[in-house]
């Protein structure tokens, strides 16, 4: 088997919507890897609020400042998509102990499916540990300000979709 590239990583997620937490992981991963491919998942266990086009557009705006990042939609098994991109690394963010079980299950399943691909975890920055996409959607739906939780380029789209009245 051809060795997979450890200098190129994929960062997959639902990004429903993208948050400062995701942007923080992306910013740090761009300094660790030569190339980062952000994967907006079509197939997630969650019912998404934002369409795949909306999630892709927001993520493209967030990644625009980084010359070594590209954003793609993927609708395959994560490990198959990673291998197709010639990468040996999946990046995921970890916020709190509560993320651990889910992430461990996913990492172990992915390793069984494709032992050549490693999952690497980046600890969320302190100011991002309380942020989640679900929390942001709830705040927006109840008319609260989301500016402090999401990248500036995402605010209007989130408000247009979710703000009351």
Q: Of 36-44, 60-68, 140-148, 154-162, which part binds ligand COA (CB under 6 A)?
A: 36-44
Give the span between the Cα atoms of 154 and 55, in whole angstroms: 10
Q: Which of 27, 5, 1 is nearest to 82 (CA)?
A: 5
Give the span between the Cα atoms of 99 and 152, in whole angstroms: 26
Q: Of 29-37, 43-51, 56-64, 140-148, which part binds ligand COA (CB under 6 A)?
A: 43-51
Contact 109, 78 (CB under 8 A): no
Is 43 a binding residue for ligand COA by CB under 6 A? The answer is yes
Peptide bond preceding 17: is omega within 30 degrees of 0, i.e. cis? yes
Q: Which lies closer to ligand COA via its Cβ, residue 106 or residue 155?
A: 106
Nearest-approach distance from CB 114 to ligand COA, in angstroms: 10
Q: Which lies closer to ligand COA via its Cβ, residue 157 or residue 165?
A: 157
Task: Enumerate the active-site residues.
Answer: 22, 46, 95, 133
């Amino acid at each position: 088997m051809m060795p997979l590239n450890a200098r190129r990583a994929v960062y997959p997620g639902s990004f429903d919507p993208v948050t400062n937490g995701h942007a923080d992981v992306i910013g740090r991963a761009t300094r660790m890897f030569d190339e980062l491919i952000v994967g907006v998942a079509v197939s997630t266990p969650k019912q998404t609020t934002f369409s795949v086009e909306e999630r892709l557009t927001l993520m493209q705006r967030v990644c625009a400042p980084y010359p070594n990042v590209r954003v793609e939609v993927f609708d395959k098994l994560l490990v198959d998509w990673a291998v197709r991109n010639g990468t040996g690394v999946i990046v995921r963010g970890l916020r709190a102990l509560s993320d651990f079980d889910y992430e461990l299950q996913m990492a172990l399943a992915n390793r069984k499916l494709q032992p050549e691909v490693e999952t690497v975890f980046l600890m969320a920055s302190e100011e991002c540990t309380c942020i989640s996409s679900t929390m942001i959607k709830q705040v927006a739906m109840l008319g609260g300000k989301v500016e402090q939780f999401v990248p500036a380029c995402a605010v209007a789209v989130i408000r247009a979709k979710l703000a009351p009245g």
